[in-house]
C-alpha cells in the first residue's frame, strides 16, 4: 500500500495546508516569531533572509510541503537535515552575551507554536471552514511536525486551550527589539535589490494583510497597529478567493509540486478538498 506520510488525506492538516492563504499565514508566523528576543537573534545572526528573501520563504514552504504531503521517509529525511543545521549553528544573545543554541527545546517550541497557531488562525479567518473541534484536531496533529524537529510531543500544545495557555506563559519573555524591528521592516518591504524593488508594490498589500492577522497583544508589542480588523478580514478573504479561482491542478504545482506527487502516489481521491475535511 502507498505510504500516506505523516498525515494523509484523513487529517485536517492535509486539507488546511493546501489553502492559498497559507502564504499569508506563513508571513504572519514570521512576524510573531520575531517577538522572541533569543529566537529572532538566532535568525538574524545565521540567516541570509535579507539577501535572499524568496529563497528563505520557499525553503520554509518546501519543508511544510514535504512534511505534510511527502512520504514518511521524505519527511524524516528533510527533518534530519533541519536538526543537523540546528545542532551546528549558534548565536549570541545581544542583551546578555550568553550563547544561544538553535536546538534549544524552548526556542524550537516557540517557533513551532508561532507557526501552527498562525497557520490555523489566519486560514480560519480567511474563510476556511474550520470548526472548533477540527481546530483542536489540527493542533493535535501538528505534534507530529514538532517531533520532526526534535521536540517531545507531550510538551507541545495540542488544543486551542493548551495553545492559549502556552502563549500566556511565554508572553513575559517576548519583547520588541532591534532584531524584531529589522524583521518587521523586512517583512513589509523585503525586496531591496534595485532590480527587485518594483516587486514590493505587489507584495506590500500581502505583507500588511499578514501583519494585521497578528493577535492584538502581539501588535501592541511590535508597536504598530496595522490595518483595521474589518479591512484586513475583507482583504484576506479576497486573497483566498483569488487563490481558489486558480484551478487546483495548476495551483498545486507551484512552487514545489508536493500535492501532485502525493496524488500520483495515493490516487485522485487524495486531492485536498473542503468536502473531505474531517469534522473531529
Structural domain spans, the chain: 12-270
Mean pLDDT, the chain, integer: 93
Residue 230 grid coordinates:
474589518
Q: Determine if the pTM surpasses 0.85.
A: yes
**With 70 as the cut, is the pLDDT of residue 196 above it?**
no
Q: In 3D, which of 31, 50, 17, 18 has the Cα closest to residue 232?
A: 31
**With 70 as the cut, is the pLDDT of residue 174 above it?**
yes
**With 80 as the cut, is the pLDDT of residue 35 above it?**
yes
**With 80 as the cut, is the pLDDT of residue 114 above it?**
yes
126-136 confidence digits (pLDDT tens): 999 999 999 99
Task: Tell me: cis bond preceding 255? Omega within 30 of 0 counts.
Answer: yes
**With 70 as the cut, is the pLDDT of residue 233 above it?**
yes
Residue 191 grid coordinates:
525586496
Task: Say what the pLDDT of residue 199 is.
Answer: 73
For residues 82-120, b (16+ Cβ closer than 10 Å) or e, as one string? bbeebeeeebeebeeeeebebbbeebbbbbbbbbbbbbb
Secondary structure (H, E, C), 37-73? HHHHHHHHHHCCCCCCHHHHHHHHHHHHHHHHHCCHH
- The span from the first CA to the last CA of the chain, in angstroms, equals 25
3-34 confidence digits (pLDDT tens): 999 999 999 999 999 999 999 999 999 999 99
Q: In 3D, which of 98, 86, 9 has the Cα closest to residue 43?
A: 86
**With 70 as the cut, is the pLDDT of residue 221 above it?**
yes
173: CB partners within 8 A, 6+ apart: 36, 37
Task: Say what the pLDDT of residue 195 is.
Answer: 64
Span 193-221, mean pLDDT?
Answer: 87
Amino acid at each position: 500500500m502507498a505510504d500516506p506520510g505523516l498525515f494523509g488525506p484523513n487529517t485536517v492538516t492535509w486539507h488546511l495546508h493546501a489553502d492559498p492563504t497559507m502564504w499569508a499565514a506563513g508571513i504572519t508566523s514570521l512576524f510573531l516569531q520575531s517577538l522572541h528576543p533569543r529566537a529572532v537573534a538566532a535568525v538574524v545572526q545565521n540567516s541570509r533572509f535579507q539577501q535572499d528573501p524568496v529563497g528563505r520563504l520557499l525553503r520554509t514552504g518546501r519543508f511544510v510541503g514535504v512534511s505534510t504531503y511527502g512520504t514518511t521517509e521524505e519527511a524524516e529525511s528533510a527533518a534530519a537535515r533541519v536538526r543537523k543545521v540546528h545542532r551546528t549553528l549558534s548565536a549570541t544573545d545581544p542583551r546578555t552575551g550568553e550563547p544561544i543554541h538553535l536546538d534549544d527545546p524552548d526556542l524550537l517550541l516557540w517557533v513551532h507554536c508561532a507557526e501552527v497557531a498562525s497557520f490555523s488562525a489566519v486560514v480560519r479567518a480567511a474563510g476556511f471552514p474550520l470548526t472548533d473541534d477540527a481546530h483542536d484536531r489540527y493542533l493535535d496533529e501538528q505534534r507530529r511536525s514538532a517531533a520532526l524537529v526534535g521536540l517531545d510531543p507531550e510538551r507541545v500544545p495540542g488544543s486551542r486551550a493548551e495553545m492559549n495557555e502556552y502563549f500566556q506563559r511565554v508572553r513575559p519573555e517576548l519583547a520588541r527589539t532591534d532584531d524584531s524591528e529589522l524583521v518587521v521592516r523586512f517583512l513589509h518591504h523585503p525586496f531591496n535589490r534595485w532590480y527587485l524593488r518594483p516587486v514590493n508594490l505587489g507584495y506590500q498589500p500581502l505583507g500588511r494583510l499578514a501583519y494585521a492577522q497578528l493577535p492584538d497583544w502581539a501588535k501592541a508589542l511590535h508597536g504598530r497597529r496595522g490595518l483595521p480588523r474589518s479591512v484586513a478580514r475583507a482583504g484576506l478573504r479576497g486573497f483566498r478567493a483569488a487563490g481558489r479561482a486558480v484551478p487546483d491542478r495548476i495551483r498545486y504545482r507551484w512552487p514545489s509540486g508536493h500535492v501532485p506527487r502525493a496524488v500520483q502516489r495515493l490516487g485522485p481521491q487524495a486531492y485536498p478538498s473542503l468536502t473531505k475535511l474531517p469534522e473531529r
